[in-house]
């Protein structure tokens, strides 16, 4: 299965599983590198990660959570390092899968339930025209409404507001995500797909929004935030 979905050159994130992560804070870090070669359906070579100009010698027998960014989508598995060596002047790690490869996002992306503050407003007509022309034009200083994100994905968000935006309208959304201890502000544009009043909460409206013209780097950051939050929740449940 591995060779059908993962290919040489694909980006991959490595993070130690809980058992190994508990040995020290440094090992919890996510290392970004790339696939060097797929050997069999349960073994692959990964370029040894680096920090600045220093190779990171991850330990033999260490088990890691691997997240692959492929042309077919985002895939995840657990794998164990069984060897390290130099191949054609490239230092590589050999991983053996310890779980099945699974897709991390559906066609509409995996949705992560959460509670995040957000501010929103409807786009002005000139901003909508710019977005439809695949350009960026956001008028600064316009008033924003407080909203609350209740789930987030690489494809969009679902949020609650005391204002009902029209279906089909475009909204400006700004919110903050914390990943690896660092907070970052995000400004995105989305199209309202559906609106409904929240049951038993008169005057509050649930909106389902799909991102419009979201760049790949931002999408990947959002997906990585979701994965990190899932890992954190799993660690807390295991305690």
- Measured CA to CA, the distance from residue 159 to residue 213 in angstroms comes to 19
CATH number of the domain enclosing 20: 2.30.110.10
pLDDT beyond 90 at 142: yes
* Predicted confidence (pLDDT) per residue in 91-112, tens digit: 999 999 988 888 765 444 677 8
Listed in order, strand segments (DSSP E) in the chain are 11-16, 31-40, 43-47, 50-51, 54-55, 63-70, 73-87, 90-97, 102-103, 112-122, 145-152, 156-161, 170-179, 182-197, 205-211
pLDDT beyond 50 at 163: yes
- Measured CA to CA, the distance from residue 164 to residue 149 in angstroms comes to 15
Looking at the fold, whether 226 and 132 belong to one and the same domain comes out as yes
Looking at the fold, whether 48 and 118 belong to one and the same domain comes out as no
* Predicted confidence (pLDDT) per residue in 59-89, tens digit: 999 999 898 988 777 888 889 999 999 999 9
Looking at the fold, whether 82 and 152 belong to one and the same domain comes out as no
- Measured CA to CA, the distance from residue 173 to residue 118 in angstroms comes to 7
Tell me which of 48, 73, 104 is where a domain ends.
Answer: 104
Task: Mention every residue, 6+ apart, whose C-beta is less than 8 A from residue 233.
Answer: none
Contact 218, 186 (CB under 8 A): yes
Q: What domain count does the chain have? A: 2
Looking at the fold, whether 143 and 62 belong to one and the same domain comes out as no
Mean pLDDT (the chain, rounded): 87
Nearest to 161 by CA among 171, 176, 153, 212: 171
Residue 24, pLDDT score: 40
* Predicted confidence (pLDDT) per residue in 117-137, tens digit: 999 999 999 999 998 888 878
Residue 27, pLDDT score: 37
Tell me which of 104, 123, 158 is where a domain ends.
Answer: 104
Strand partners, 211: 190
Residue 19, pLDDT score: 44
> Is the C-alpha dihedral spanning 5, 51, 186, 134 positive or negative?
negative
Residue 104, pLDDT score: 63
- Measured CA to CA, the distance from residue 67 to residue 77 in angstroms comes to 7
* Predicted confidence (pLDDT) per residue in 27-59, tens digit: 357 788 999 999 999 999 999 998 878 899 999
- Measured CA to CA, the distance from residue 189 to residue 78 in angstroms comes to 35
- Measured CA to CA, the distance from residue 66 to residue 124 in angstroms comes to 42
Range of the structural domain that residue 84 is part of: 2-104
Residue 238, pLDDT score: 65
């Amino acid at each position: 299965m591995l060779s059908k979905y993962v290919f040489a050159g694909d980006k991959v994130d490595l993070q130690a599983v809980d058992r190994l992560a508990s040995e020290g804070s440094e090992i919890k870090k996510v290392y970004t590198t790339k696939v060097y070669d797929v050997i069999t359906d349960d073994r692959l070579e990964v370029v040894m990660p680096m920090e600045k100009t220093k190779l990171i010698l991850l330990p033999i027998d260490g088990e890691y959570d691997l997240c692959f960014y492929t042309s077919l989508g985002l895939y995840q598995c657990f794998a164990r390092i069984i060897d390290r060596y130099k191949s054609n002047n490239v230092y590589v790690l050999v991983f053996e899968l310890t779980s099945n490869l699974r897709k991390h996002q559906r066609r509409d992306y995996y949705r992560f339930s959460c509670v995040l503050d957000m501010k929103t407003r409807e786009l002005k007509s000139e901003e909508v025209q710019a977005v439809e022309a695949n350009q960026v034009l956001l008028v600064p200083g316009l008033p924003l409404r407080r909203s609350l994100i209740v789930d987030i994905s690489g494809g969009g968000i679902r949020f609650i507001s005391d204002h009902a935006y029209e279906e089909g309208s475009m909204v400006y959304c700004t919110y903050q995500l914390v990943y690896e201890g660092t907070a970052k502000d995000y400004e995105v544009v989305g199209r309202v797909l559906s609106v409904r009043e929240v049951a038993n909460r008169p005057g509050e409206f649930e909106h389902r929004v799909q991102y419009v013209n979201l760049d790949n780097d931002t999408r990947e950051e959002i997906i990585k935030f979701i994965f990190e939050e899932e890992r954190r929740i799993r660690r807390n449940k295991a305690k």
